[in-house]
Amino acid sequence: MEQVSIVGELMQGKELAKKLFEHLNSSSSPSPPSSSSSSSSSSSSHESNEALIEKILSTYEKALTMLNNTNIMKDSSHCSSSSLANGSTKNEVLDKEVVAPKNKEVSKKRKTMSMWTKQVKVCLGTAIDGSMEDGHSWRKYGQKDILGAKFPRGYYRCTHKHVQGCLATKQVQKSDEDPNVLQITYKGRHTCIQQVNNHLSKRATTTATSKPNMALLLDHHHPQEEEIKTEQPHETILTFGSSPSSSSSQELEDKIDDFDFDFDLDIKENIFPSFYFTSPTIVSEIESFSPEFISPTTNSESNSIFHFQTSDSDFSENVSAPTSVSKSPIIAGLDFHSFDDKVDFDNYFSMNS
């Protein structure tokens, strides 16, 4: 039914990505542009790149919207206690993206904020302090006893809120049923530049030390970041994307610069880095297409998450850190690489309203 058109959209996206890749290669000067000076390239080239990016996003959005339409709340019940690969961490992912995004407008103050929740299983004694590493620095700004809940809810905002106007917040609350489970609800997206730079610098390191993509698959198992890096509302799709809150041309330009930098690191060297979905709904939907469509993870314990690739666990917010290592699958013959953390398919999928 819709699968054909979804695949078609994805194929189109791939073609556009190829074009963009070629475009970037052809337009790159002998000396690679720095992240801060990449915007100095010809404006026409820049514009066409932008147009390509928009097309790519459009195709992916269509595909994901189709997926979304055919897969609403398919699974929210399974709760695999997937162990971490190295077993050295104190935290453990219980489930990811357990709750579908709640796009209800919570209040006037945050009426445009998308929400999504994850559950994280923690060891006894782990405080409900929201300090579990998820790639962001959070500052607690409040705590409330919630009616009907055994445990108080902690409110956290991005540390860079005041400096950079980052509006990302999260709420951390122990589950009533299982105090070992933290329910973390994220709201808003990170717009803090430091966050982006962290991605890039970390990934730059990774890329420099691990040549092929496959190398990225197997490395970087940061215990504290095992848990989850899951984000973001749909407006995050690209870091330079269509966030309503980051619509200024300067921001856009900055982010495009970041994007260029990404290509320097990732595309020019190796094609696109891979991505992986974190939402079980996406995974199950894709898997339902065809057994051959995706080669599922071989990890038997991680049945709730399908990772297209585990790569740099420092992808921070945009991707969910894997609980286990899985190989990079080939989707319908596509070498389905994407723009790394710049493209958040998961959010795209889950946050489309």
In the complex, what is the shortest distance from the CB of residue 156 to DNA, in angstroms, rounded to a whole number?
Answer: 7
In the complex, what is the shortest distance from the CB of residue 338 to DNA, in angstroms, rounded to a whole number?
Answer: 31
For residues 55 and 17, is the Cβ–Cβ distance under 8 A?
Answer: no
In the complex with DNA, the residue whose CB is nearer, 142 or 212, is: 142
In the complex with DNA, the residue whose CB is nearer, 157 or 199, is: 157
In the complex, what is the shortest distance from the CB of residue 104 to DNA, in angstroms, rounded to a whole number?
Answer: 8
Binding residues (CB under 7 A) for DNA: these are: 105-110, 129, 131, 137-149, 153-155, 157, 159, 169, 171, 187
In the complex with DNA, the residue whose CB is nearer, 107 or 300, is: 107
CA separation for the pair 313, 89 (Å, rounded):
14
In the complex with DNA, the residue whose CB is nearer, 145 or 335, is: 145
CA distances from 301 to 75, 107, 121 (A): 17, 39, 15
In the complex, what is the shortest distance from the CB of residue 150 to DNA, in angstroms, rounded to a whole number?
Answer: 12
Phi/psi at 231 (5° precision): -150, -135
In the complex with DNA, the residue whose CB is nearer, 167 or 265, is: 167
CA separation for the pair 4, 7 (Å, rounded):
5
In the complex, what is the shortest distance from the CB of residue 127 to DNA, in angstroms, rounded to a whole number?
Answer: 8
For residues 278 and 230, is the Cβ–Cβ distance under 8 A?
Answer: yes
In the complex, what is the shortest distance from the CB of residue 325 to DNA, in angstroms, rounded to a whole number?
Answer: 31
In the complex with DNA, the residue whose CB is nearer, 126 or 131, is: 131
Residue 181 is encoded by which pair of tokens? 């489970």
In the complex with DNA, the residue whose CB is nearer, 157 or 342, is: 157
For residues 11 and 334, is the Cβ–Cβ distance under 8 A?
Answer: yes
In the complex, what is the shortest distance from the CB of residue 77 to DNA, in angstroms, rounded to a whole number?
Answer: 23
